[in-house]
Chains A and B, each alone.
Chain A
Amino acid sequence: MKNALFALMLGLSCVLATADESNWTSKRGLFVVSYQSELQPLQINQLHAWVLHIEDAQGGAVIGAQIDVDGGMPEHDHGLATKPRVTEELGNGDYLLDGLRFHMRGFWELELTIVANGKSDSVLLKVTL
């Protein structure tokens, strides 16, 4: 499973280099985050992984970041079904975020708290299924 995922993520990393993904700027503007889901399109009730790509404000890949993940559905006042976490740094500003599962259709928020190069900032990713 891990090997297969890693191979998949390497493939996705290549896609990321050229894909025109949405970019999410962190609250203080220190980081810009994009993501690519292993599940295309996103589906409910399936455990899956994303590749996060993190750049600094100048567009440089952020290396060695510590990333905490939280989130939920604000409309229903509940959190995520699982406790996803970054399990691997893939290089070139890419990080494997594993263990995601959305168990309802609707509007979700994922908050990433990123610490890198002695600086901390958070970013809110908005996802609608």
Chain B
Amino acid sequence: MKRIGIAAVIAAMFFAGWYHWPTSPRPWTDADLVVLESLSLGNLLPLPNDPTNAVADDPRAAKLGHALFFDTRLSRNGGISCATCHQPERKFTDGRAKGQALGMSKRHTQSIVGTAYSPWLYWDGRRDSQWSQALSPLEDENEHGTNRQQVLQLIADDPEYAASYVELFGALPGLQDPAEVNAAFANVGKLFAAYERILQPGPAPFDDYVAAVVANDKNRQVALFSDDEVVGLQLFIGKANCTQCHNGPLLTNNEFHNTGVLAAAGELPDKGRAAGAREVLANEFNCAGVHNDASQPDCPELEFMRTGAELIGTFRTPSLRNVAETAPYMHKGQLATLRETLEHYNDAPDAMIGHNEAKPLNLRSGELRQLEAFLFTLSAPLAVDEQWLRAPVRE
């Protein structure tokens, strides 16, 4: 009996050791290199044009959009700006489960960085451009709580804003004609977008490591990545299946997936994209609307957009650039840490609504730790001049 007890203890110790023991790196293969390069920031395509926004790349618009982004007068109580939730020092997130402005937002604040590349904005893709997205929080009762007339009045009353606006778009309208007000309000969104287009991620240790692997520079590889980070990366592109959705240089496919994330405590499950798809089609500021600046409007994303029940409980894949700095995670901030998030994917529980596309990973604890170590290598300062990351100094 005593022998059996000792054997059981030894077996348990062996299992615990195996479960927590890290995996060793393996050599990189040619197939790995193809995948690694596809994820490297150096392979990010040039910023796509936005023909829906005539001032998208106008530095004057970016300057005015920058000022408006940090201006707390764009709110009912004079205390809320875009930067209240999209904080530059937190990579344009807020560290909260849900955004907190005048009230509490319905979902977790997403970063703005790199969103110029996405055909869809918000967790549910209910807007189809940066400029149409930027307008929504202004009129949301829980966010800025202002309205389009007040926004235009503020611009008209501020000599610097008014002069810049007139230079870009012509005279500010009176506030009586709804069509004129809506057009000018759309212009305000386009100013925000001109600023937000500038906000792009910078090269991270991961990108340097990929360059060292491609160059077969072993010394540099060792200097850049620990064994745990190497194995984490090998899991990331391998059996952890992360690159199924977190692919391309921004580590997102910007599409909608159900990964079985539990509803937030005390809330019904969120329908996600199933509702967002309907909303973007109906939105007055979408690509197909009259505020599109293109001479021959072309809206293939809306034209070929998928709708329907299959999208229930799906949410847009977030970029993993700077993911270690943007906790908590998921559409309601349900998961507090990277470790919790990795454990969620490892378990792949049944979805509350719709179905979980992910399958259990059966990774060991040591491997989850290595995957987590790798995710820290995706952090880097933004590829943006410092001046854009703080409120502009008014003269």
Contacts and interface: CB of A to CB of B under 8 A. Distances in A.
Q: Are A and B subunits of one complex?
A: yes
Interface of A: 1-2, 44-45, 47, 76-85, 98-99, 101, 103-106
Contact of A81 (B296, B306, B357): B306
Interface in B264-315: 296, 298, 300-301, 303-307, 310
B257 A105 contact: no
Contact of B303 (A77, A78, A79, A99): A99
Contact of B255 (A1, A81, A105): A81
Contacts of B300: 1, 47, 98-99
Nearest to B252: A45
Contacts, number: 56
A45 B44 CA distance: 12
B246 to A, nearest CB: 10
A78 B304 contact: no
Contacts of B355: 77
Contacts of A81: 253, 255-256, 306
Q: Classify the secondary structure of B's interface with A.
A: loop
Contacts of A45: 247-248, 253-254
20 contacts: A44-B248, A45-B248, A47-B119, A47-B300, A47-B301, A47-B304, A76-B244, A77-B357, A79-B310, A81-B306, A82-B304, A82-B305, A83-B305, A84-B304, A85-B304, A98-B300, A99-B303, A103-B245, A105-B243, A106-B244
A79 B245 CA distance: 14
B356 to A, nearest CB: 9
Interface of B: 119, 243-245, 247-248, 253-257, 296, 298, 300-301, 303-307, 310, 355, 357
B44 to A, nearest CB: 12
Given A44-B247, A44-B248, A76-B244, A104 B304 contact: no
Contacts of B254: 45, 103
B92 to A, nearest CB: 22
A79 B254 CA distance: 15
A114 to B, nearest CB: 20
A67 B164 CA distance: 52
Nearest to A81: B255
Contacts of A44: 247-248, 253
Nearest to A79: B310
Contacts of A77: 355, 357
Given A44-B253, A76-B357, A99 B243 contact: no
Contacts of B301: 47
Given A45-B254, A47-B300, A104 B245 contact: yes
A78 B357 contact: yes
B276 to A, nearest CB: 14
Given A44-B253, A104-B253, A83 B247 contact: no
Contacts of B304: 47, 82-85, 98-99, 101
Contacts of A78: 257, 310, 357
B177 to A, nearest CB: 33
A43 to B, nearest CB: 9
B299 to A, nearest CB: 10
Contact of A103 (B253, B296, B305): B253
Nearest to A48: B300
Nearest to A102: B253
